[in-house]
Amino acid sequence: MAELSKQHWSAQRYAATAHFVPAFGAPVVELLDPKPGERILDLGCGDGVLTAKIAAAGATVVAVDAAPDMVAAAQAKGLDARVCPGQNLAFEREFDAVFSNAALHWMHPPETVIAGVARALKPGGRFVAEMGGHNNTAAIQVAFRAVLARRGIEALSLSPWYFPSAAAYGAKLEAAGFSVEDIAIIPRPTPLEAGMDAWLDAFADDFFAPLAPADRAAAKQEIIDLLQPILRDETGLWIADYVRLRFKAVLPG
């Protein structure tokens, strides 16, 4: 059964505060290496910034995302974007490649998503993606646990994320019939120009949802206070402790 995050996705807020997400996606597009005439599925397309880059290479791209506001933003770019959770893919041997950037870690259970990708690909098709990897935002998650524990809540039970190791995710890909050509954990400290407060607004609704509205601002400030000595540099710039998992896997021809 699909498990959907409580995160409210606003395309306008995403573009203003989380534009680093597609900006860091260029190496994943390079690994995809889209060719003219290929049919490619962008899984978890967001507002379509990277979808447009893939289309510009001459590929025909179908983009899907669970968030209607993000899909609307992608459609406004002239893209074939559709509202569809990654757990509910209904395509059958249709695509030469499936691409995903910074989205798979929001989709549970991963086995269902991988099985849908395998069905969607033609024989010999490739699955190229980057997602949060093991230890992604570790300091931030420890801060969540500390602050919510004071309120009698176990933060990890609320997490919408799945951050696997290369070994763990590689095994899931192989179990679904893929041959893993390349998979690696990549530490990537990520500057947050809009600050930690904006990051929490953009990505952490699931953790604050159980709190009374009047307590959410206080909890958020406690998290920021805990993280400031660790993730804010001497110039005042916040740098999140991102770790990514990037891979290329291929179905048998």
Question: pLDDT per position in the chain (253 positions), as tens?
Answer: 556 666 664 556 655 554 555 667 789 999 999 999 999 999 999 999 999 999 999 999 999 999 999 999 999 999 999 999 999 999 999 999 999 999 999 999 999 999 999 999 999 999 999 999 999 999 999 999 999 999 999 999 999 999 999 999 999 999 999 999 999 999 999 999 999 999 999 999 999 999 999 999 999 999 999 999 999 999 999 999 999 999 999 999 8
* Alpha-helical regions (H) of the chain: 11-17, 20-23, 26-32, 49-56, 68-76, 110-120, 138-149, 166-175, 195-203, 205-208, 213-231
CB-based contact 76:94 (threshold 8 Å): no
- Domains observed in the chain: 11-137+161-191+241-250 (3.40.50.150)
| Helical (H) or strand (E) element with 5 | none
> pLDDT tens digit string along 147-162?
999 999 999 999 999 9
> pLDDT tens digit string along 79-116?
999 999 999 999 999 999 999 999 999 999 999 999 99
Scan for tokens 């929001």, then name that residue: 106
Q: What is the pTM of this model?
A: 0.92
